[in-house]
Amino acid sequence: MFHSFLDLLTSTMSSSSSSRRLLLLSNSTLHPTGYLEYAKEFIKDFLTSAGVSSVLFVPYALADMDAYAATAKRAFGEMGFSLSSVHKEEKPVEAVEKAEAVFVGGGNTFRLLKMLYESGLVEAIRRRALDDGMPYIGSSAGTNVATRSINTTNDMPIVYPPSFDAIGLVPFNINPHFLETDPNSTHQGETREKRIRQYQVNFRVDNHISILGHPGNFFMGHAISTFEN
């Protein structure tokens, strides 16, 4: 049912002529380490190899954006990069136009996508990432919105975005921190796998959509998806 990640990666890269630089993380933390700590070497390599020294942060997925930006600024500072937050910009689209790289943080996917639309950033980020090869780092919800749609998010629909279509930097869906079903569970809710299958029912006819589940506890290979071509 689930194709391997490398299959997807290969088919994605060969079907596109653009130069995408994407680092898509499943999680912001990996138990028991701190914010982004598990991914620091990946992020440093990713940004350094693209010649990036400053990052534009998108904190829209959480309600307290000031606190979120402070956390991100500290983490990127420790890695040697400066960081400014787009929620402090009067003209967010112009900030994206000028950005060396963008980091979209995790939180609630619905809130994030709604604010990306309202601020005009869906189009702006798509254009910069696809046309200019601007490096894009996403984490959890920030990874979901980088895909074709948020149809496979795990988050609660706490606000109503104008669409479930997302930035579309990759032509498939991602289900962050996917967990295998525990066959001994007596939990009465649907399993994650069953929920994803319900989504796939919509695409019996147009079967081009693939869904990738990556376990939250492994960031090598599965939870981190790097596109640099």
Q: Are 87 and 60 in contact (CB under 8 A)?
A: yes
Residue 31 as a binder of a second copy (CB under 8 A): the answer is yes
Residue 87 as a binder of a second copy (CB under 8 A): the answer is no
Q: Which residues of 187-199 are buried (b: 16+ CB within 10 A; e: fewer)?
A: eeeeebbeebeee
Q: Residue 140, exposed/middle/buried by CB under 10 A (0-12, 13-18, 19+)?
A: buried
CA 20 – CA 17 distance, rounded (Å): 9
Least distance CB 188 / a second copy (angstroms): 4
Residue 155 as a binder of a second copy (CB under 8 A): the answer is yes
Q: Are 211 and 152 in contact (CB under 8 A)?
A: yes
Least distance CB 222 / a second copy (angstroms): 13
Q: Which residues of 6-29 are buried (b: 16+ CB within 10 A; e: fewer)?
A: eebbeebeeeeeeebbbbbbbbbb
Q: Which is nearer to a second copy, 17 or 160 (CB)?
A: 160
Site for a second copy in 108-147 (CB under 8 A): 108, 110-111
Residue 210 as a binder of a second copy (CB under 8 A): the answer is no
Residue 225 as a binder of a second copy (CB under 8 A): the answer is no
Residues recognised as catalytic: 140, 155, 177
Residue 202 as a binder of a second copy (CB under 8 A): the answer is yes
Residue 148 as a binder of a second copy (CB under 8 A): the answer is no
Q: Are 130 and 18 in contact (CB under 8 A)?
A: yes
Residue 195 as a binder of a second copy (CB under 8 A): the answer is yes
Beta pairing, strands 102-104 & 54-58: parallel
Least distance CB 126 / a second copy (angstroms): 19
Query: Under the rule (CB under 8 A), what is the footprint of a second copy?
Result: 26-27, 29-32, 63, 107-108, 110-111, 150-160, 163-164, 176-177, 179, 186-190, 195-196, 198-199, 201-202, 216-217
